[in-house]
Structure 1
Amino acid sequence: MTSLSILDLSPVPAGGSAAQSLRDSIDLARHADALGYRRYWLAEHHNLPNIASSAPDIMIGQIAAATRNMHIGSGGVMLPNHAPLTVLERFKVLEALFPGRIDLGLGRAPGTDHVTSIALRRRQDIRDEDDFLDRLQELLLLSNDGYPKDHPFSNVHAMPNDVPLPPIFLLGSSDYSAQLAAQIGAGFSFAHHFAGHDAVHAMRLYRDRFKPSQHLQAPLAILATAAVVAETAGEAERLASTIDLNFVRRAKGVYAPLESPEVALAYDYSPMDRERIAKNRERLAVGDPDMVKARLTELAQATQADEIMITTMIFDHEARKRSYSLLADAFSLASPRAMPQPQPAAAG
């Protein structure tokens, strides 16, 4: 059976606060942990009023401490924004505190607009060209002591140096990341919830070209997609209207907090807006539990996904929790037995 996981962007609703959205993420993670979800990943976005998730490494620590069973990870750390050594050390610290439960998902994009991306990298080497491959190579070489002895970085070790790096996943929305993940023997997560590229082709390309590595012997493919579930199809459509309005606004360069279904349904959409909504709905699974299960099962089979990772960007926190509950019931997820939480070492 395909495992289910969650991608959380900590959505900020109109009239709400980003601080509360972060606390809601911890609440949702506890809920998902009890339902039997396999992974819970946090995104990295910057300077967006509708997304509070800007520091996934901090949130990973908070959520791992509040849960017992799920793998907690980044979906992802946007590598262009960070020095590779910093990423290694932060995730090794997380792995030391929560052994066997941390995932390191890496993305190519900055997760923001151009000006904000420059502000994020102001004290780093800012280049016009894409330097993701250089940063990834540096991260991999530092992680496995791969630099030759005559290289200045040969004596640089990510601390704590007695802790392994968590599993690496590359995030992507095209063939490029799929092939790269396959080449280096990493896990791969395809962003079906916003990608214009064919998910089936990218996911199968990854699987066909995968080369085993010391970290991963067989391909591990995750399909990230959007879903909204309610007791009835009509209620699910009402909840999903928030997504429709948010998509229309984003297409016009407006990144406002998420509006309620009442505001979204009353919005005066143009014919072009409605065309955009219809196109975006092709990527969404919206309906009652049976409808959404059928849609996600079809996607999993077509893409040969090992896991389906769900993101649900709707207005009401309790409705979001209910959506994940209904989905867990539809897929008959088993509530796991709690793993023992690591205890801090005694002082002295």
Structure 2
Amino acid sequence: MSTLRLPKLSVLDLVTVSEGSTSADAIAASKRLVDAADRLGYHRYWVAEHHNTSSVASTSPAVLLAHLGQNTSQIRLGSGGVMLPNHAPLIVAEQFALLEAMFPGRIDLGLGRAPGTDPITAAALRRAPGTEAVERFPEDVFELLGLLGEVRPEHSNEWLRRLRATPVPGSDVPEIWILGSSLYGAELAAKLGLPYSFANHFGMGSNPVSPVEHYRHHFVPSERWPKPHVLMSASVIVADSFEEAKRLAMPSRIAGWQLRMGKLGPVQSPDQAAETASRIVDQEMFSRVRGTQHLGTGEQVARQLAELAEQTGADELLLAATTYDVEDRIRTLEALAPYLP
């Protein structure tokens, strides 16, 4: 066995719906995945917020986490993330305060400023008109901190005496994270002294080093976070060989292609995805759709992840996988478990 050891590893579950399956099937698969992650010793399990798409079953992270967390014993449960411009901060605070009461000391609240959907759906979510809700994002994050018990000197004591999310947390409160894939999130996380999660799993070719370095250089210590803390996501699939991992990853490339074309549908099987790929007219453009970034055997992927952690200085890694069959995601977690710290 290799002596290679990785930083803390966590799981990002997009709760994708496979071709021929239902949302109920996707949620049942996610329950199997979180149970495996908990058993194997992974650190966090995050779900995201998406709307108006047949390919993703995770519309409400708080509701989903209340179900997925049942019968888990140690893994942290969280959002990666809640799209805060879609919601009043008090609603989010109450949802995650309730989760904290259900799973004490194990709740994370990752916050993003994108709508997580198309403009029509964003309007139906009762967001403020225009860009107002997005522009309010820093204020809303600061408000959430106070509502969830992370009171800063700048908070109004009078306001907090009159308004606090219930049920009131005990000695622990949810960890609040800032998510991002650009410099904006890095700047806000640094300014507020919060941990930062970089969305590297998108595979859009962006350089994760620059925003992470900016975050560390400008970080203002807070009482809860005296030092900067970085979680770096990565898209991974492990199989018995690189060729098999590449075959299992074709559905993720097709999903990336569909997203680019504005026609995202359920996750295809590897064979169906290969057939779809053969029918794409613009093969040159399709070749630029990266899909899954880290493929191979357990040792090959572990070494790739170690290089990513060294390159970015990440304190933790968050693993995502888009596969047709949840068994392939579970096998990926099992294959990387020997490298857990």
Query: TM-score scaled to structure 1, two decimals?
Result: 0.88
The structure-2 alpha-carbon separation of the partners of 1:162 and 1:56, relative to structure 1 and needing over 3 Å to count, comes to closer
Q: Tell whether the 8 Å contact from 1:26 to 1:66 is kept in structure 2 after alignment.
A: no
The structure-2 alpha-carbon separation of the partners of 1:274 and 1:49, relative to structure 1 and needing over 3 Å to count, comes to farther
Matches of 1:61 and 1:40, distance apart in 2: 12
The structural deviation recorded for 1:214 is 2.1
Q: Which residue of 1 aligns with 2:88?
A: 83
Does residue 298 of structure 2 align to residue 289 of structure 1?
A: yes
The structural deviation recorded for 1:262 is 0.5
Query: Residues 167-316 of structure 1 correspond to what in structure 2 (within 5 A)?
Result: 167-194=175-202, 195-267=204-276, 268-270=278-280, 272-281=282-291, 284-316=293-325
Q: Describe the superposition over 1:137-189 as per-residue Cα deviations: whole angstroms up to 9, x where unpaired.
A: 332343428653676x7511211235353111110001110111011111110
The structure-2 alpha-carbon separation of the partners of 1:140 and 1:162, relative to structure 1 and needing over 3 Å to count, comes to closer
Match of 1:128 among 128, 131, 135: 131
Matches of 2:146 and 2:96, distance apart in 1: 16
Query: TM-score scaled to structure 2, two decimals?
Result: 0.90
Does residue 53 of structure 2 align to residue 44 of structure 1?
A: no
Structure 2 gap segments, 5+ residues each:
1-5
Match of 2:62 among 57, 66, 91: 57
Instruction: Give the SS at the match of 2:314.
Output: coil
Does residue 164 of structure 2 align to residue 161 of structure 1?
A: no
Q: Tell whether the 8 Å contact from 1:248 to 1:277 is kept in structure 2 after alignment.
A: no
The structural deviation recorded for 1:304 is 0.4
Q: Which residue of 2 aligns with 1:139?
A: 144
Q: Describe the superposition over 1:298-319 as per-residue Cα deviations: whole angstroms up to 9, x where unpaired.
A: 1110000011101001101111
The structural deviation recorded for 1:284 is 0.7
Q: Describe the superposition over 1:231-273 as per-residue Cα deviations: whole angstroms up to 9, x where unpaired.
A: 1111101100111111111111001001111011112354644
Instruction: Give the SS at the match of 1:76.
Output: strand
* CA RMSD in angstroms, aligned pairs only: 2.0
Q: Tell whether the 8 Å contact from 1:73 to 1:103 is kept in structure 2 after alignment.
A: yes
Does residue 76 of structure 2 align to residue 68 of structure 1?
A: no
Q: Which residue of 2 aligns with 1:16?
A: 21
The structural deviation recorded for 1:40 is 0.4
- Tell me the percent identity: 39
Q: Tell whether the 8 Å contact from 1:40 to 1:73 is kept in structure 2 after alignment.
A: yes
Q: Which residue of 1 aligns with 2:329?
A: 320
Matches of 1:208 and 1:191, distance apart in 2: 19
Amino acid at match of 2:165: A
Q: Tell whether the 8 Å contact from 1:185 to 1:216 is kept in structure 2 after alignment.
A: yes
The structural deviation recorded for 1:13 is 0.4
Mean alpha-carbon deviation: is it higher for 125-134 or for 176-185?
125-134
Does residue 112 of structure 2 align to residue 103 of structure 1?
A: no
The structural deviation recorded for 1:196 is 4.5
Instruction: Give the SS at the match of 1:217.
Output: coil
The structure-2 alpha-carbon separation of the partners of 1:257 and 1:141, relative to structure 1 and needing over 3 Å to count, comes to same
Instruction: Give the SS at the match of 1:65.
Output: coil
- Number of positions where the alignment pairs a residue of Structure 1 with one of Structure 2: 328
Matches of 1:7 and 1:298, distance apart in 2: 20
